[in-house]
Structure 1
């Protein structure tokens, strides 16, 4: 299967549920999903790349329905990935949930970043700083920015009614990222593997409510 095949499946299913793919045409992006393989961190353009045994692929998907946007990402193995790759994906997903747990009303944006960073860096992973989470609603990227690093107690206050995306991107090596010549695909500076997970959540009086989780 190619990353382009995955894009066609995603496009069809988003529309089948009465939504439209948010990413198509966003700042010129040509596809319904971002499909980033191995050393590609994020914003990979789906195409002819064939998936192989042991690859890890990051799929970032946006859907708009009734004028509102949901944004989520997942990393999965193609066949049987290496133990190192599996551990990277597990740590990235766990860091996402650490960030979500910190997204309590009355906390601040810095608490989210500090939670993600505090989970990932002691385990030896590089936390990508060039790309961050964001507010979301009627537009894909709204204020505030939601970094995956920071200082607890700093930044904008989290209030009930806010809707944000938390999306840690962890690298096996350096956190540095490079944008390729297509002006979209972002890769690790040292060629090491990267993983990416994301959820959209609402801040409620009772804490964070994940809006893009399986029932």
Structure 2
């Protein structure tokens, strides 16, 4: 409610509620929930990991952002998971340069995660965003360098 109210106060509109039947303005995923968790009456506890994902539209364009944080003190395993996940994201962003292919981005994400002893989620992808919430290209978290549709243009 707070997020939706603040976004509306700034002249934008929350995007998630009602999108493909989603019942809330904010995705709240706790611990082992991968993505698109539905907020509810659950009580968060010290050591939980929580991901918050929010989308809004403004002047005909969509925005979508997420953040993952620990609740209070988290154990070293949870901290390492969060650091590896953020590192994989940064590796994918670094691989997204003019001339690169989507497989280069996907491979960078996969290689970073696996070098830390983790696997990647294969059932969900990154995605383009613009006038629609989910646009092409889809960017898997796994792939082979030098493969994938087209090349990134400047």
What TM-score, normalized by structure 1, do the two folds share? 0.69
State whether residues 44 and 71 of structure 2, in contact with CA within 8 Å, keep that contact through their aligned partners in structure 1: yes
2: CA distance, partners of 1:153 / 1:34? 34
1: CA distance, partners of 2:37 / 2:143? 26
Gaps of 5+ in 2: none
Structure with the bigger RCO (C-alpha within 8 Å, sep 6+) is: 1
Shift of 1:25: 0.6
Instruction: Report the equivalent of 1:10.
Output: 3
Instruction: Report the equivalent of 1:191.
Output: none
Secondary structure, in 3 states, of the residue corresponding to 1:121? helix
State whether residues 107 and 143 of structure 2, in contact with CA within 8 Å, keep that contact through their aligned partners in structure 1: yes
The answer to which structure has the higher strand fraction is 1
Aligned length: 154
Instruction: Report the equivalent of 1:94.
Output: 87
1:139 equivalent to 2:101? Answer no
State whether residues 96 and 152 of structure 2, in contact with CA within 8 Å, keep that contact through their aligned partners in structure 1: no
Question: Which segments of structure 1 move beyond 3 Å, counting only runs of 4 or more?
Answer: none
State whether residues 22 and 64 of structure 1, in contact with CA within 8 Å, keep that contact through their aligned partners in structure 2: yes
2: CA distance, partners of 1:96 / 1:13? 28
Shift of 1:122: 1.7
User: Residues 177-209 of structure 1: CA distance to partner in whole angstroms, max 9, x if unpaired?
Assistant: xxxxxxxxxxxxxxxxxxxxxxxxxxxx3xxxx
Instruction: Report the equivalent of 1:185.
Output: none
Gaps of 5+ in 1: 1-7, 161-204, 206-215
What TM-score, normalized by structure 2, do the two folds share? 0.95
Shift of 1:17: 2.0
1: CA distance, partners of 2:149 / 2:96? 11
CA RMSD of aligned residues (A): 1.1
1:57 equivalent to 2:50? Answer yes
